[in-house]
Structure 1
Amino acid sequence: MIEAVGLTKRYGDKTAVYNLSFQVRPGAVTGFLGPNGSGKSTTMRMILGLDNPTAGQVTIGGYPYRRLPNAARQVGALLDAKAVHGGRSARNHLLSLAQLSGIPARRVDEVLGVVGLQDVAKKRSKGFSLGMGQRLGIAAALLGDPQVLLFDEPVNGLDPEGIHWVRNLMKALAAEGRTVFVSSHLMSEMALTADHLIVIGRGQLLADMSVTDFISANSADFARVRTPDSEPQQREKLSAALTEAGGHVLPEQDGALRVTGLPLPRISDIAHGTDVRLWELSPHQASLEEAYMRMTQGAVDYRSTIDQKEGLQQPLPPGAQPPMPVPGQGQPGWYAPPPPQQGGAPFPGPPQGAPGGAPGQAPAGPYGAPGGHGGAPSAPGAPVPGTPNPYAQPGPQAAPGQAPAAAPPAPQSAPRPAPQPDAAPAQPAATPSAPAAPTADLTKPEDAR
């Protein structure tokens, strides 16, 4: 049996454990729970004599650990599975521990088989996975066949099969009359493994009771009652009867009733007395995790806050929002597809380096006028203000004989006034960087050729 009386440990101004008293009895798996920084590891180190308490004492079988004769044969512990020389094989690591404690070598092979490492016994531990390291640490704790066992996060890194194996191992050891003390953060696993719980927070004892009592003391048990969905009046009738009998009734979203303050037999009798049919009458209890969260919510030192990264970006004043960038716009070779034809089929895009059509003229063929390239080549880059761009973002196509529709305004400019119906299209301005080609006069013989 492990017994702590007034156990206190201070590190300078920091009090890790304060006036902690509890007992870990044999024949049961005792879970040791608490938030990060609550003093669990410090308590286990003081139990094993690795840290000296500032005040109080802790004993194993009535003696401090350091005064136990051949302590390795009476107490087994797993505190840090990585505390292994990486150059040693699994078997040599256990063999060295056995020789130091006077344990026969045959016991090494036995525990390797118990933890399932017999096939990798000759491999160096530095190549072990996290789960394999945990198994090796458990093997070291079992090496001396001790009556008292302490495990700190024994299922860390294990797969589901390994977790199931550890759970059954803990229960089997306790069934043999051994003292099993297990620290873990997996509430779901503790609910399946532990018989008794010791919960601490900020170095002080919060609870020392069975798992069942702990859940009942830190949660509100209730009964779930459901009546036929097609008869809502029956639900209202039962709710009024339960309230009159002293129960507290809350409707749930799916139409069921949550009843507290009345045992299930009493609820059944009331339903029978009011001639209400029941589709469901079941007890509900909070999980160990929910009860633990309620118990320790005031003893958590490390809490998450809302992400404040949005505060790093100062909002721009109204009207100064930058326009959404167009990928590649303004870069050499940037291309925006022309508007579709009236028939709905889009024009194919020009290849790299192909000259575009004349400014303000919609291309009539694949790359320009029928039978060849029309117009002067245009320089790459943004279009000149006031010049219609045949490769601007798609817009409505003007019907023949009508004035072309105005181009959409730029993001930062004020909206342009809509053109008058009879207004002629603006003449395109000359591009400074690309002079326009001279206009051909077909009346002259040399140009007619």
Structure 2
Amino acid sequence: MIEAVGLTKRYGDKTAVHNLSFQVRPGMVTGFLGPNGSGKSTTMRMILGLDNPTSGRVTIAGRPYRELPNAPRLVGALLDAKAVHGGRSARNHLLCLAQMSGIPARRVDEVLGVVGLQDVAKRRSKGFSLGMGQRLGIAAALLGDPQVLLFDEPVNGLDPEGILWVRNLMRALAAEGRTVFVSSHLMSEMALTADHLIVIGRGQLLADMSVKDFISANSADFARVRTPDTEPQQREKLTSALTEAGAHVLPEPDGALRVTGLPLPRISDIAHEAGVRLWELSPHQASLEEAYMRMTQGVVDYRSTVDQREGLMAPPQPGAQPPLPVPGQGQPGWYPPPPPGAGGAPYAPPQPGPYGTPPAHPAHPAAPPVNPYAQPAPRPTADQGAAEPGAAQDRTAQERPAQDRPAAAPAAAQPSAARTDTEDAR
């Protein structure tokens, strides 16, 4: 049995575990639950003597871990499956652990068969997948055939078949009278595996009870009632009748009614007396996940700003700037600021032109923007300066409409007409 009394652990001014007291009894699987950062891993490390408590004590079979005779043969643990020498094979890794603890070498092949790694026993562990690493860690925990076992997230990385195997293994070990202490974030799996629960939040004990009692204490069963969707007046009529009978009725997002306070037969009788047709009348039993979320909703340190029900971000703080658009991705509802010098008029995104390309609109039609990378315009030569006045006027008339179009980069200076054949060859 594992027993903690007034267990407290501080790191400087941060309290990881505060006055924690509980018992983990043999013959059952005890689940250890809590949000991230609640102190679960710290508690397990103190149980195994890896961290010293600031105050309080924790014992295994009445003794601290460090005082146990040949502790690896009494206690097995999986805290970090990656704590393996990657250059060793699975079998050599277990052989090293067995030699350090005085465990017979034959036990290595036995546990490799239990966890299903006998075919890859000679492979180096650095090539193992996450699930294979978890199996190797479980094999190391089982190596000494211990009576007390601690597992931190044992199903991490396992496929459905592996998860089922771990579940059956935990229950089989508990059925043999061993003490099994399991930490996990998978509520659905814990509901199928654990017999008892210890729940902590921010280092303090929140619950210490059986799974059944935990669900009953932190949730309520209810009935789902649905009337014809095309007849909303039927739903309103039934709501009034159930409320008058003492039930508590809440609408569900899908149009059904959540009814508490009345058994299903009584709900059916009330609907019949009111002349309301029912499309659905089903019981709903609360799950471990629902009970856990209700229990720990006030002790979660890391919470998303996204409303999972609405799919929207929380309202921005006063004065916050809108997020910049991701290049190549449109973000509805927000556009870049107006170009410099365009004034304070609202900026409208460019509309597609007749050929699918947006038309260009210069900021100042009377003064086209200057291209800083264009070559300077050539100076007129003497011959060009002596051009006829009529030709200059025609050229000026031709250039006037160009002011309504975006300014293009000035053309490079034309070479002089007096070019020799030798220069052309160059």
Structure 1 length normalisation: TM-score? Answer: 0.69
Task: Write the distance in 2 (CA, Å) between the matches of 1:45 and 1:183.
Answer: 12
Change in CA separation of 1:61 and 1:266 when aligned onto 2, cut-off 3 Å: farther
Query: What secondary structure sits across from 1:76 in the alignment?
Result: strand
Equivalent residue for 1:161?
161
Task: Write the distance in 2 (CA, Å) between the matches of 1:315 and 1:409.
Answer: 17
| Superposition map of 1:360-399 within 5 A | none
CA deviations on 1:6-49 (whole Å, 9 max, x unpaired) are 11111222211110011112222211111222111110011111
Equivalent residue for 1:354?
none
Deviation at 1:231, TM superposition (A): 5.5
| Superposition map of 1:203-352 within 5 A | 203-229=203-229, 234-274=234-274, 276-305=276-305, 310=322, 319-320=342-343
Task: Write the distance in 2 (CA, Å) between the matches of 1:195 and 1:44.
Answer: 19
- Contact 1:221 / 1:285 at 8 angstroms: preserved in 2? yes
Within the alignment, does 1:72 sit opposite 2:72 as a pair?
yes
Change in CA separation of 1:189 and 1:409 when aligned onto 2, cut-off 3 Å: closer
Task: Write the distance in 2 (CA, Å) between the matches of 1:239 and 1:301.
Answer: 39
Equivalent residue for 1:27?
27
Task: Write the distance in 2 (CA, Å) between the matches of 1:146 and 1:247.
Answer: 53
| Superposition map of 1:78-93 within 5 A | 78-93=78-93
Change in CA separation of 1:99 and 1:411 when aligned onto 2, cut-off 3 Å: same
Deviation at 1:320, TM superposition (A): 5.0
Deviation at 1:309, TM superposition (A): 7.7
CA deviations on 1:94-142 (whole Å, 9 max, x unpaired) are 1222222232222111110111110111112122222111110000111
Task: Write the distance in 2 (CA, Å) between the matches of 1:82 and 1:256.
Answer: 48
Within the alignment, does 1:125 sit opposite 2:95 as a pair?
no
**Segment drifting more, 14-23 vs 314-323:** 314-323
**Segment drifting more, 211-220 vs 27-36:** 211-220
Change in CA separation of 1:394 and 1:212 when aligned onto 2, cut-off 3 Å: closer
Of residues 399, 417, 429, the one that matches 2:399 is 429
Equivalent residue for 2:361?
410
Question: Number of residue pairs matched?
Answer: 352
Deviation at 1:315, TM superposition (A): 5.1
| Superposition map of 1:167-182 within 5 A | 167-182=167-182
Task: Write the distance in 2 (CA, Å) between the matches of 1:284 and 1:271.
Answer: 19
Deviation at 1:295, TM superposition (A): 2.1
Change in CA separation of 1:429 and 1:206 when aligned onto 2, cut-off 3 Å: same
- Contact 1:323 / 1:412 at 8 angstroms: preserved in 2? no
CA deviations on 1:53-80 (whole Å, 9 max, x unpaired) are 1211111222222222222222110011
Query: What secondary structure sits across from 1:246 in the alignment?
Result: coil
Task: Write the distance in 2 (CA, Å) between the matches of 1:394 and 1:146.
Answer: 74
Task: Write the distance in 1 (CA, Å) between the matches of 2:323 and 2:273.
Answer: 62
Amino acid aligned to 1:429 = E
Within the alignment, does 1:149 sit opposite 2:149 as a pair?
yes
Deviation at 1:161, TM superposition (A): 2.1
Equivalent residue for 2:42?
42
Task: Write the distance in 1 (CA, Å) between the matches of 2:20 and 2:357.
Answer: 76
Change in CA separation of 1:323 and 1:243 when aligned onto 2, cut-off 3 Å: closer
Equivalent residue for 1:101?
101
- Contact 2:225 / 2:282 at 8 angstroms: preserved in 1? yes
Deviation at 1:289, TM superposition (A): 2.9
Amino acid aligned to 1:410 = H
Amino acid aligned to 2:363 = Q
Amino acid aligned to 2:217 = A
Change in CA separation of 1:291 and 1:319 when aligned onto 2, cut-off 3 Å: farther
% identical aligned pairs: 83
Task: Write the distance in 2 (CA, Å) between the matches of 1:394 and 1:60.
Answer: 75
Task: Write the distance in 1 (CA, Å) between the matches of 2:226 and 2:361.
Answer: 63
Deviation at 1:152, TM superposition (A): 0.6
Higher helix proportion? 2
Task: Write the distance in 1 (CA, Å) between the matches of 2:104 and 2:276.
Answer: 71
Deviation at 1:200, TM superposition (A): 0.9
- Contact 1:72 / 1:101 at 8 angstroms: preserved in 2? yes
Amino acid aligned to 1:291 = A
CA deviations on 1:213-243 (whole Å, 9 max, x unpaired) are 3233333432101234566555444322211
- Contact 1:149 / 1:181 at 8 angstroms: preserved in 2? yes
Q: What is the root-mean-square deviation of aligned Cα atoms in Å?
A: 3.5
Query: What secondary structure sits across from 2:139 in the alignment?
Result: helix
Change in CA separation of 1:224 and 1:432 when aligned onto 2, cut-off 3 Å: closer
Amino acid aligned to 1:15 = T
Equivalent residue for 1:194?
194
- Contact 1:6 / 1:57 at 8 angstroms: preserved in 2? yes
Q: Any stretches of 5+ residues in structure 1 without a counterpart?
A: 327-336, 341-392, 396-407, 416-425, 436-449
Query: What secondary structure sits across from 1:429 in the alignment?
Result: helix
Within the alignment, does 1:136 sit opposite 2:136 as a pair?
yes
Task: Write the distance in 2 (CA, Å) between the matches of 1:323 and 1:434.
Answer: 39
Query: What secondary structure sits across from 2:398 in the alignment?
Result: coil
